Structure 1
Amino acid sequence: MENNPDTTLVTQTAPIANETHGGRAKCLQRLVRLDLPVPRTVALSFKAVHKIGAGHLPDVQAVVAQFPKGALMCVRPSSEDPDWGGPGAVLNIGINDARFAELCETMGEGPAASLYTRFVQSYAVNVARLDPDMFDEIEGEGREALAESLRAYEAETEEAFPQDTATQLTAVLRSMARAWEGTSARLLRQAKGAPADAGLGLVVQEMVFGIGSGQCGSGVLQLVDSDTGLPQITGRYMCQSQGRDALHGDAGAMYLTRDPRGASLEEAVPEAFETLKTHAALMRARLRAEMQVEFVIDEGKVHILDGMRVPRSSRAAVRIAVALADEGIISREEALMRVQPRTLTELLHRQVDPSAKRDVIGHGIAASPGAATGKIVFSATEAQAAASRSEPCILVRRETSPEDIRGMHAAHAVLTERGGITSHAAVIGRGIGLPCVVGASNMTFNLVKKTITAPDGRVFAAGDEITVDGSAGEILAGAAKMQEAALDETFQRLMDWAEEAADIGIRANADTPADAQTARNFDAHGIGLCRTEHMFFEPGRLTVMREMIFAESGEDRRAVLERLLPMQRDDFTQLFRIMQGQPVCIRLFDPPLHEFLPADKAGQRELAEALDLPLSDVTRRIDALTEYNPMLGLRGVRLGVTVPEIYEMQARAIFEATIDASRDGDPVVPEIMIPLVSARREVELVKTAVDAIAAAVRNEGEADFTYRLGVMVETPRAALRAGEIAPHCSFLSFGTNDLTQMTYGLSRDDAGRFMSDYVQQGVFPEDPFHVLDVDGVGELLQLGAERGRAAQPGITLSICGEHGGNPESIAFCRAAGFDYVSCSPFRVPVARLAAAQLAILHKIG
């Protein structure tokens, strides 16, 4: 049986692999190779277990024959990934009336009866599929409890409890195989990332009782704390127990090390404790991982039943990987590969404590990670007022607009009824590190009465306290217990290693000095997208902006924009100084002008008073600017061509800021990006105007500077005609938010309402606003990149949509030869780690 590929005796040389027999079987073989005291074990392959589920059994009698005569056995699952789960272990297989009598002689009637009773009840529930409640009435212990359990089994099944070892083992194997193949089990593991056809192996192991005379018991031990990753012997041990009984909170469980709170293994059996520590240290060094050791002590002797990867929090995962690399157990590159990029998100933001009780009152799309508690407010003004009182608040809106920017900055989290993963609230939330849940359509929002109603009927009004969990997409009642962010030296060292390994640039999307500082703190390679329109929503600027909109001629507009010029120049000067020596890509004005005008009557009256105009003039102008589909209307470069004064003012502000910031630091090379281009002539017109402004500023300031001008490719036509556009540009930056929107004909703000249905029914494999559609949108990117590079070989290529922080999208961009990706500042560490892992995978083939 040692060389049988399907029912394999676990020896040092047996043909066992993780891909054929599962992680538990392979780990047990590694422990055998370390000469650790592992009980005799037989591993059943994925293929064998699949056949068992279909009714084709292996030679079970031959499996039993591998163990000493009279030995009891246990069966445990062995899946390829322990996170995929599997059926529960069944212990003490092989015990029967005759073996019970023998055990009574060797270990005493009480322990023997305990073993037999445990197996009868486990067999009844897990194999015969009987209701576990049938044993609730059984009282007492020993022979009496055993007899009652056997009577209950026989009464329910109308047959005697099986006495043959092979019969028992056959039934257990068949039950576990079929449990794995069941629909609910398959769906559950697929939700954890397992493929639909994931296999299950089983290991049949000789029982070491942990029950009997002398010092007997079982427990688990690990050398690090699962929450912090710091060195600390943790675990539990319980006398007269089996399996993982010690972890079930039993009052009889003991600590491992000396502890003032109670008895410990170190004091009770010091020799066994030292042996365990030695074995655990050997496993750590030779298996190159922090391991949790499952052990049994039988009459003072230690036996190792299993070893598994220590369960760990995100912060522990980082610390463990770095510690193993520091000690030379693994390389730095392997340390980088052992940390999932998405787990870094939990380190960057406060999170709801995993142990906290959750009173969930609503669900939505997890749009921006992190969690926060605060009182409900329903307007940006109320959020700002709460912030002035140092009172945490949650901004609740039907959906947010650029006018809500200041309120979002003041709030601790945002909750919206509508929207998707790239809606306004989601994009801004990720950019400023603000927890955000959008598309909470299962809740009822009443903005007139200022209430939100949960599906269960509970009503929450303005001033009530709720918690928004942007990582899970949940809204909780009250204040949940929180876990703070953990950006320590260990995190920074991992990021330094990622920087050394990565071969694609990572920039940040940053609109404010605060965003830029966050990007700088996370060592972004510059700013890949600065959206200038957000700078115009400051109260002092919004009125001036509205004046410009109401100006009758180009000269009048220029006169008004003269007042905005120093404000814009100051914004850019701050950005340049923070990012000194790094590129800053500034997108010229993009949104339609109507977004800057009030939609409600009260706001329109205030605007009429501020501008000293009749209300009718204001409403007429607003009506004139209203568009049926503003996303496809007069915005982006179309405004730059038809209302050129805005771009002229912005270009002047950029160039004057360039001169200011370069006086006392490294020369700044700004990048100016034209949005929403679809034709070469648009680029030519804007480029001519920008070049003229640059020449004028050089002459006026008597200073020289250089700049780069490029295009934001976010229309399908721009991607297809990139060969015509590229010769007039230094760079092409693909805006995948709008490009996805236009390619699919989907509104990124409204698609969230039905996207989950589409994904569940297989229309789309993933939300294309969340994970880049490499087939459709990706083909446009590839065409644009190929045609752009063919026309201008040295052109810089990048993406600056929200996909830039997604590991799968980074893989696509890297393979397509892009120079960098740009993402929200708080996604920069995730993107840097993903980029490093891609480079490492490429290097090792």
Structure 2
Amino acid sequence: MAEKIVYMFDEVDPSKFSSTEDLKIHFGGKGAGLANMTLLGLPIPYGFTIPCKYSLSYAETNKWPDHLKDQINESIAKLEKKSGYIFGDIEKPLLLSIRSGAPISMPGMMDTVLNLGMSKAIAEKMAEKNARFAWDSWRRFIMSFSDIVKETGREPYDEIMDEFKESRGKKLDIELNADEMKDLGELYLKKFHELLDKDFPEDPWEQLYASINAVFNSWNSERAVAYRKMNKIPNYGTAVNVMRMVFGNLNDKSGTGVLFTRSPMDGEHKVMGEYLINAQGEDVVAGVRTPISMEELKEEQPDIVKQIFELANLLENHYKDMQDCEITVEDGKLFFLQTRTGKRTAGAAVKIAIDMLDDKIIDEETAVLRVAPEKIEELLHKRISPNEKKLPIVRGFNASPGAVTGRAIFDCGRAIEEKRANQRIILVRKETKPEDFPGMIASIGILTSRGGKTCHAAVVARGIGLPAIVGAGELEIDEEKRTASVGGEVKFKEGDLISIDGITGNVYIGEVEVVDPEITGEFSRYLVMCDKYRKLGVRTNADTPQMALDALKNGAEGIGLCRTERMFNAKDRLPKVVDMIVAENLDKREKALDKLLPLQRQDFIDIFKVMDGKPVTVRLLDPPLHEFLPDYKSMVVEFTELRVKGDKGKRFKELEFMLKKYEELKEENAMLGHRGVRLGNTHPEIYKMQVKALIEALIESQKAGVDVHLEIMLPLVSHVNEFIRLKELLKPMAEEMLENADLVPKNPIQWGTMIEIPRAALTAGEIAKEAEFFSFGTNDLTQMTFGFSRDDVEAKFLTKYIDEIYPPIMKDNPFEHIDIEGVGKLIEITVVDGRKARPGIHVGICGEVGGDPHSIQFLHDVGLDYVSCSPFRVPVARVAAAHAAILDKKNV
């Protein structure tokens, strides 16, 4: 018996799948939604689905599996019987839509062909009953087929449309009459032949098979690959859904719309959406016309809106989550074409999760999992200050939150170039199209003059967390001249600095004053709820009292890494550091260190005060000494200029001395050189000064009533003897100071190290006999495990490994998450061996893995005690840690 490949919508039994996710992985999100809507009795256009896995096999072999063609033909026959229309028939033609549908929603990334099955003869026959509708559908099909199947893009046809409307003094396509639509069809046919050197195919079966192949291929389009990479979506493939066409462009009792069962912007519990009268679905997402709201539609068609709301709520109750639905009304009859879990802002995600929890629709664990950790960063975006005096030049729809300032760029290719040059740019377009995605992710914000809150730009921006404003209709964007005008006056041109506020929808010229976000209300409640479930502690990397304060506001439970070298870099102390470095004997170096001691001591006092009652891990000096000296190239240039002038005065001698010192200290590979404990062992006076400052700060702080939990970290240990020697030098000194001050620390001082060298990981059992804590330094450990110099490889070949070489050598940048096979194994060895040698040892990790779910899950599974990240990312880490604990409990 032949393998079943093609499934009619009513042949899919969702109950046979373990979860909705499993159903989606097999039939794609759209196919799963259509199967469920069929089961629930919603009005949908009948059709069939080809499961996702066949797009993957097609990508490998460029061939269809046996029996696929036969089963497609059989399914078309079933469609004909069900609908009463005949595929390819002139009198009663069955017209189809061919839609992709990936398991995980990828808005705007995949391809759709509408009105398939038309020919010029069919259009002429249809025109006898409704001429404008017939010719509009025909010209749409030509453009759709050319764009999606023949990969010409739609721009050549958009240009024809724009020129055609301008020549007739019309602004919108809806204003064109039947004869004009027919003329457009002829122009489109001519353009098709011009682009492809062949006539438009009018055989419906040829159209169908080619369109199915196009949907298969869309899974590996540049924009789809970029979207999957950004969102870490597995290579599931895409399903193909073939459905009977229903026509929103039939007449003024017809239309198309997109709706959400709750607001995707703020989570408000009301059905909201947008609707275009006399249009097809692509018009809404493309933003070619500004749609009306559901409230406005309700005034004109209350019965339809009532039905829409009832069925939308039915879907939300079934899925127990906010739904994003696509609808079409054909001559007063409602059809649902799609339902999927709706993309939403982080603020909306939090509110919806809390509201559904309060309404007992979902439980607490589900509520926690409803907000993706990486989305939390959206809630930490800045917004325009209420004190800002500048007036906006225009206002659009607030599509995705956040306030940003950047250079206006009107072209996606240029946006990508500017990103590579480390420029912050805002992409300005009339509307965005799916192929614009690489340019969108190269930007820090999006601004369009067309579209509503459900257009392509809005949905994609919300999905990737980009501030966005769409539908700024008063803004006249000339993409060719690269200018933006209001009322005929050019307000800004390419390269000008502009600001957008995705919360209010306001657009400004130049830079504006912004304010920091606050953790209050439902967001605060959500984070507290996450804290109930997580087992990983969350600390922060903080080198100043202000950083520590910021981290506390975000929920940090201590400082996991205080980098003392950052304190050395302050303007008031760098000259003193230089004096210490260039000192020609121990006596002079100690005198220079004596000047630094009170400054370091006060830093520690201030930090202890802020972190009262919470652990503070202080890393003693880590980088090589030459990094604190003035820039070598600048000194050489100045020295050479003085020598050429014959000026051998005081400045010449200073530079001569400093250059000599730099030459003595510099190393061929400083990352593997004289730094960390190596520096501490050869110049123990430096570490002695730092420990003295720490103990004096502890004494003063504890006497002032501050609860100090001090952990002293010796960095870059590779051999246990490095640690032993320094601890034997420093710990007795600290104990003597405490004894002389007649003070017993309320909390014992802990001595530990940062594991950032593979040898330290492999000999963790030996080091743990001496150290009371470990902390992993992800940056150096990754560099040394891979043999990569991060500063070099990211700029030179790592992106080629990931993005350009096929198949890719590496899937992801190992500096952005834990590399499980390499770095991860070293971490696991360290934890296991360390705890065998010292059961009470605590282990943390420092780096920006704090918000990466992939890394957090691994660290949770290995059993680390805490992660430490920047103050900004502390809330992200809290959420990611809660997700890890809940998923571990559920065995996911």
TM-score band, normalised by the shorter chain?
0.7 to 0.9
Query: What SS class does the counterpart of residue 83 from structure 2 fall into?
Result: coil
Report the equivalent of 1:189.
Answer: 224
CA displacement at 1:192 relative to structure 2: 1.8
CA displacement at 1:187 relative to structure 2: 4.1
Task: Work out the CA distance in 1 between the residues paired with 2:706 and 2:649.
Answer: 46
CA displacement at 1:825 relative to structure 2: 1.9
CA displacement at 1:628 relative to structure 2: 3.7
Report the equivalent of 1:497.
Answer: 529
Corresponding position: 1:78 with 2:101:
yes
- Structure 1 range deviating more: 201-210 or 492-501: 201-210
Report the equivalent of 1:31.
Answer: 37
Task: Work out the CA distance in 2 between the residues paired with 1:335 and 1:835.
Answer: 14
Change in CA separation of 1:559 and 1:484 when aligned onto 2, cut-off 3 Å: closer
Report the equivalent of 1:460.
Answer: none
CA displacement at 1:348 relative to structure 2: 2.3
Query: What SS class does the counterpart of residue 517 from structure 1 fall into?
Result: helix
Aligned partners of 1:515 and 1:825 also within 8 Å: yes
Q: Paired residue for 1:222, among 242, 247, 260?
A: 260
Corresponding position: 1:692 with 2:732:
yes
| 1:545-587 per-position Cα deviation (integer Å, ceiling 9, x unaligned) | 3333344554544444333222212111111111111110001
Corresponding position: 1:21 with 2:27:
yes
Change in CA separation of 1:611 and 1:783 when aligned onto 2, cut-off 3 Å: farther
- Structure 1 range deviating more: 24-33 or 51-60: 51-60
Q: Paired residue for 2:758, among 709, 716, 728?
A: 716
Change in CA separation of 1:284 and 1:244 when aligned onto 2, cut-off 3 Å: farther
| 1:295-335 per-position Cα deviation (integer Å, ceiling 9, x unaligned) | 23344443323223334344444444444334333333223
Aligned partners of 2:113 and 2:144 also within 8 Å: no
CA displacement at 1:802 relative to structure 2: 4.2
CA displacement at 1:666 relative to structure 2: 5.5
Aligned partners of 1:50 and 1:177 also within 8 Å: no
Task: Work out the CA distance in 2 between the residues paired with 1:465 and 1:102.
Answer: 51
Corresponding position: 1:69 with 2:84:
yes
CA displacement at 1:529 relative to structure 2: 0.9
- Structure 1 range deviating more: 180-189 or 530-539: 180-189
Aligned partners of 1:652 and 1:694 also within 8 Å: yes
- Structure 1 range deviating more: 712-721 or 40-49: 40-49
CA displacement at 1:720 relative to structure 2: 2.4
Corresponding position: 1:756 with 2:780:
no
Task: Work out the CA distance in 2 between the residues paired with 1:129 and 1:317.
Answer: 36
Report the equivalent of 2:504.
Answer: none
Report the equivalent of 2:843.
Answer: 797
Report the equivalent of 2:777.
Answer: 735
Letter in 2 for 1:586: V
| 1:450-499 per-position Cα deviation (integer Å, ceiling 9, x unaligned) | xxxxxxxxxxxxxx987999xxxxxxxx9589997654433323322221
Task: Work out the CA distance in 1 between the residues paired with 2:100 and 2:150.
Answer: 18
Corresponding position: 1:657 with 2:697:
yes
Task: Work out the CA distance in 2 between the residues paired with 1:217 and 1:12.
Answer: 29
CA displacement at 1:511 relative to structure 2: 0.8
Task: Work out the CA distance in 2 between the residues paired with 1:271 and 1:509.
Answer: 58
| 1:24-54 per-position Cα deviation (integer Å, ceiling 9, x unaligned) | 1211222233333333333333356778973
Task: Work out the CA distance in 2 between the residues paired with 1:129 and 1:628.
Answer: 51
Corresponding position: 1:633 with 2:673:
yes
> 1:3-22 residue pairs with structure 2 within 5 A?
6-10=6-10, 13=13, 17-22=23-28
Letter in 2 for 1:639: L
Change in CA separation of 1:528 and 1:246 when aligned onto 2, cut-off 3 Å: closer
| 1:404-423 per-position Cα deviation (integer Å, ceiling 9, x unaligned) | xxxxxxxxx9xxxxxxxxxx
Change in CA separation of 1:671 and 1:309 when aligned onto 2, cut-off 3 Å: same
Q: Paired residue for 1:242, among 274, 280, 283?
A: 280
Task: Work out the CA distance in 1 between the residues paired with 2:837 and 2:294.
Answer: 69
Letter in 2 for 1:79: A
| Unmatched runs of 5 consecutive residues or more in structure 1 | 258-263, 374-412, 414-434, 436-463, 470-477
CA displacement at 1:532 relative to structure 2: 0.7
Aligned partners of 1:684 and 1:728 also within 8 Å: yes
Aligned partners of 1:352 and 1:483 also within 8 Å: yes
Question: Taking structure 2 as the reference length, what is the TM-score of the superposition?
Answer: 0.72
CA displacement at 1:707 relative to structure 2: 0.4
- Structure 1 range deviating more: 140-149 or 293-302: 140-149
Task: Work out the CA distance in 1 between the residues paired with 2:843 and 2:290.
Answer: 64
Q: Paired residue for 2:303, among 261, 271, 274?
A: 271
Change in CA separation of 1:205 and 1:732 when aligned onto 2, cut-off 3 Å: same
CA displacement at 1:733 relative to structure 2: 1.5
Change in CA separation of 1:279 and 1:486 when aligned onto 2, cut-off 3 Å: farther
CA displacement at 1:516 relative to structure 2: 0.9
Q: Paired residue for 1:524, among 553, 556, 561?
A: 556
Change in CA separation of 1:367 and 1:122 when aligned onto 2, cut-off 3 Å: closer
Corresponding position: 1:810 with 2:856:
yes
Query: What SS class does the counterpart of residue 634 from structure 1 fall into?
Result: coil
Letter in 2 for 1:543: P
CA displacement at 1:731 relative to structure 2: 0.8
Report the equivalent of 1:472.
Answer: none
> 1:138-177 residue pairs with structure 2 within 5 A?
141-142=177-178, 146=182, 149=185, 162=202, 168=204, 170-177=205-212
Corresponding position: 1:325 with 2:357:
yes
Q: Paired residue for 2:830, among 776, 784, 807?
A: 784
Aligned partners of 1:522 and 1:828 also within 8 Å: yes
Report the equivalent of 1:588.
Answer: 620
Query: What SS class does the counterpart of residue 193 from structure 1 fall into?
Result: helix
Task: Work out the CA distance in 2 between the residues paired with 1:651 and 1:500.
Answer: 37
CA displacement at 1:285 relative to structure 2: 2.7
Task: Work out the CA distance in 2 between the residues paired with 1:116 and 1:466.
Answer: 43
CA displacement at 1:668 relative to structure 2: 1.4
Aligned partners of 1:357 and 1:480 also within 8 Å: no
Q: Paired residue for 2:368, among 307, 326, 336?
A: 336
Change in CA separation of 1:364 and 1:513 when aligned onto 2, cut-off 3 Å: farther
Corresponding position: 1:358 with 2:409:
yes
Change in CA separation of 1:508 and 1:468 when aligned onto 2, cut-off 3 Å: farther
Q: Paired residue for 2:113, among 89, 101, 109?
A: 89
Letter in 2 for 1:528: G
Letter in 2 for 1:758: Y
Change in CA separation of 1:211 and 1:482 when aligned onto 2, cut-off 3 Å: farther
Aligned partners of 2:99 and 2:215 also within 8 Å: no
Question: Taking structure 1 as the reference length, what is the TM-score of the superposition?
Answer: 0.76
- Structure 1 range deviating more: 770-779 or 615-624: 615-624
Query: What SS class does the counterpart of residue 673 from structure 1 fall into?
Result: strand
Report the equivalent of 2:440.
Answer: none
Corresponding position: 1:821 with 2:867:
yes
Report the equivalent of 2:431.
Answer: none
Query: What SS class does the counterpart of residue 285 from structure 1 fall into?
Result: helix
Taking only aligned residues, the RMSD between alpha carbons, in angstroms, comes to 4.4
Task: Work out the CA distance in 1 between the residues paired with 2:498 and 2:331.
Answer: 52
Task: Work out the CA distance in 1 between the residues paired with 2:292 and 2:603.
Answer: 62
Provide the identity percentage. Answer: 31
Task: Work out the CA distance in 2 between the residues paired with 1:123 and 1:159.
Answer: 12
